[in-house]
Chains A and B, each alone.
Chain A
């Protein structure tokens, strides 16, 4: 029943006291939000914290009447995630600490690997690791557009709104990101070695 409700109906239900409405929203958007944060932030523990903080901040804002529905709930949520990430990097910069660039563990829930043998599994994991590394080597602004577009499924209009740039700039960043990705793929000879 709730699965067919619109975002607005769910928020309205939540404000009126139906807790499960917000849980439905979490289930609906958790992958998009998590993909954005976890590909942007390489520290897994930190990414998980920011993922939770994003939804908690959403609740705070909804409860204090700061959300006005314009049919773009997920864009608004992603903007909150974006701001939390920016805040984090500001804090890190102030503290003059080093980011977790050497973070290496594989964070991905692989696609159905149950039937794959161990060797295939290892190859896939290695490829996923390599891809994540490629993404992380993109300049911040390009990386963000790729993640928001490809993994979070936002439109360029929404990405432009979230990142405070024009649509053309967002499109340009996407193009540069893809060109750079391809260049890195060629340099590092990364290709799909399995189907």
Chain B
């Protein structure tokens, strides 16, 4: 006699429930972040940001243009 496998204990989600908005599926599929975590850790030490003065200058130029 075949017994039920008890699959009902696991709540399955539908395809549309899978949240991929913030995920690059290609990146995920290629597994770069797992494989090269050491390189990414190093890259993370650098975060170029525009200085406040530069942003201010840009906004002033934008205002002048209008």
A: residues with CB less than 8 A from B are 19, 22-23, 26-27, 30-31, 34-35, 38-39, 48, 51-52, 55-56, 59, 107-109, 111, 124, 127-128, 131-132, 134-135, 146, 149-151, 155-157, 167, 171, 174-175, 178, 181-182, 185, 190-192
Contacts and interface: CB of A to CB of B under 8 A. Distances in A.
Given A23-B62, A155-B27, A156-B24, A51 B32 contact: no
Contact of B59 (A23, A35, A151, A191): A23
Interface of B: 24, 26-27, 30, 32, 35-36, 38-43, 45-51, 54-55, 57-59, 61-63, 65-66
B53 to A, nearest CB: 10
14 contacts: A34-B49, A35-B49, A48-B50, A51-B58, A56-B62, A56-B65, A108-B49, A109-B49, A109-B51, A131-B45, A146-B43, A171-B30, A175-B32, A190-B42
Given A51-B54, A59-B66, 18 more contacts: A22-B62, A23-B59, A23-B62, A30-B50, A30-B58, A31-B49, A39-B46, A56-B61, A108-B47, A111-B47, A127-B45, A181-B43, A182-B36, A182-B38, A182-B39, A185-B38, A185-B39, A192-B42
Nearest to A35: B48
A191 B24 CA distance: 28
Contacts of B62: 19, 22-23, 26, 55-56, 59
A144 to B, nearest CB: 14
Contacts of A131: 42-43, 45-46
B41 A192 contact: yes
Nearest to B51: A109
A185 B58 contact: no
Given A26-B55, A156-B26, A38 B48 contact: yes
Contacts of B26: 155-157, 167, 171
A84 B24 CA distance: 26
Contacts of A108: 46-49
